[in-house]
């Protein structure tokens, strides 16, 4: 007897749950031959709002976890990616990659996750300083997560673009809402399943699918978002994002010229983008004639 294959339902990822878009809209994803492979959620302003609320709720808990613990969780994500390697490769092939290119994209993604896992408890040492001051204070500066980051991921890769955008942001203790590639969204949902089974608290990463044309406006004008990072090439969208960001002085970063497959797309400076530097003046007792050490 012939068997009808069960099609996977591609949903979105908000607050550790897999809802459909509240708008009820979807768009058909077609392969090269023009056949529909899947129906993808066409997310709305309200989905972004819900995701932002989930991210805000999760951020303080995630940001206050021990850096070492965050490293363990990112490493766990990499382990889970490795375990699902075949699935990601077949999804990439389904979306038009060659087998070799698909394999390479998945492997680079896993390695990049491990790379940022390693940085979780090390970047602080690089960006911190003890500052010389002319009074009896111990003065030091340390990086702290900025809060909620809105990400519009690379359009041309399905998995690697997501990992490249998400990993440095969460390594630094932030929570994020990320818009997956519109033309290659399949890996986004599978990646959400990986996150969901890897000890990452719900809400730290929220993944939406849909169009940047519709959503970039809302990603950039929400007053409760602290930074926007944009990995695409649309000049008009970049302009709008920068203008909207001025509403509450969000940090804006546009990475449309980096080669996402290369090592240039991974660096602790990507972590630094979403950190705020906090400086503390700690009074030190001036005993007798002794002077401040710094």
Q: Report the b/e string of 94-112 with b at 16+ CB within 10 A.
A: bbebeeeebbbbbbbbbeb
100 binds other proteins (CB under 8 A): no
Closest approach, Cβ 56 to other proteins, in A, equals 8
263 binds other proteins (CB under 8 A): no
For residue 140, CA distances in Å to 68, 116, 294 come to 22, 25, 10
Of 226, 15, 216, 188, nearest to 95 (Cα)? 188
CA atoms within 13 A on the CB side of 284: 16
Q: Are strands 205-208 and 175-179 parallel, antiparallel or unpaired?
A: parallel
Candidate segments 60-68, 96-104, 219-227, 251-259, binder of other proteins by CB under 8 A: 219-227
Closest CB to other proteins among residues 117, 220 = 220
47 binds other proteins (CB under 8 A): no
Give 28's DSSP letter.
E
44 binds other proteins (CB under 8 A): no
CA atoms within 13 A on the CB side of 170: 35
248 binds other proteins (CB under 8 A): yes
Closest CB to other proteins among residues 25, 49 = 49
What is the full DSSP assignment across 146-168? -SEEEEE--SS-SSHHHHHHHHH
Two structure tokens written together for 228 = 């926007």
Closest CB to other proteins among residues 4, 223 = 223
Candidate segments 67-75, 196-204, 222-230, 251-259, binder of other proteins by CB under 8 A: 222-230
70 binds other proteins (CB under 8 A): no
247 binds other proteins (CB under 8 A): yes
221 binds other proteins (CB under 8 A): yes
Phi-psi sector, 151: left (phi>0), alpha (psi -120 to 50), beta: beta
Size of the site for other proteins (CB under 8 A): 9
Candidate segments 163-171, 180-188, 192-200, 221-229, binder of other proteins by CB under 8 A: 221-229
49 binds other proteins (CB under 8 A): yes
Candidate segments 57-65, 159-167, 216-224, 252-260, binder of other proteins by CB under 8 A: 216-224
Of 1, 223, 236, 287, the one binding other proteins by CB under 8 A: 223
Angle at CA 21, nearest 5°, toward 18 and 24? 135
216 binds other proteins (CB under 8 A): no
222 binds other proteins (CB under 8 A): yes
Of 199, 194, 166, 197, nearest to 87 (Cα)? 194
What is the full DSSP assignment across 223-258? TT--EEEE-S--HHHHHHHHHHHTTTT-EEEE--SS
Closest approach, Cβ 76 to other proteins, in A, equals 32
Of 44, 47, 52, 181, the one binding other proteins by CB under 8 A: 52
d(C-alpha 137, C-alpha 131), whole Å: 10
Binding site for other proteins (CB under 8 A): 49, 52, 218, 221-224, 247-248
């Amino acid at each position: 007897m012939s068997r009808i294959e069960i099609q996977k339902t591609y949903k979105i990822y908000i607050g550790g749950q897999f809802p459909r878009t509240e708008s009820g809209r979807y768009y058909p994803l077609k392969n090269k031959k023009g056949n529909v492979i899947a129906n993808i959620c066409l997310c709305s302003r309200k989905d972004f709002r819900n995701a932002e609320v989930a991210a805000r709720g999760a951020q303080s808990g995630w940001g206050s976890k021990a850096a070492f613990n965050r490293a363990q969780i990112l490493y766990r994500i990499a382990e889970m990616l490795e375990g699902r390697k075949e699935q990601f490769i077949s999804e990439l092939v389904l979306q038009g990659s060659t087998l070799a290119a698909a394999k390479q994209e998945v492997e680079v993604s896993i390695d990049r996750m491990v790379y940022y896992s390693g940085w979780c408890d090390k970047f602080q040492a690089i960006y911190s300083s003890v500052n010389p001051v002319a009074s009896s204070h111990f003065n030091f500066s340390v990086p702290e997560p900025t809060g909620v980051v809105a990400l519009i991921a690379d359009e041309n890769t399905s998995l690697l673009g997501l990992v490249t955008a998400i990993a440095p942001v969460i390594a630094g203790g932030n929570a994020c809402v990320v818009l997956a590639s519109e033309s290659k969204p399949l890996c986004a949902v599978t990646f959400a399943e990986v996150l969901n089974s890897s000890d990452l608290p719900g809400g730290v990463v929220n993944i939406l699918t849909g169009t940047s044309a519709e959503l970039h406006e809302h990603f950039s004008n929400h007053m409760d978002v602290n930074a926007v990072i944009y990995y695409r090439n649309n000049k008009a969208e970049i302009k709008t994002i920068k203008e909207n960001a001025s509403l509450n002085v969000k940090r804006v970063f546009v990475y449309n010229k980096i080669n996402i497959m290369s090592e240039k797309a991974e660096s602790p400076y990507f972590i630094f983008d979403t950190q705020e530097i906090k400086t503390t003046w700690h009074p030190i007792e001036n005993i007798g004639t002794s002077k401040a050490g710094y």
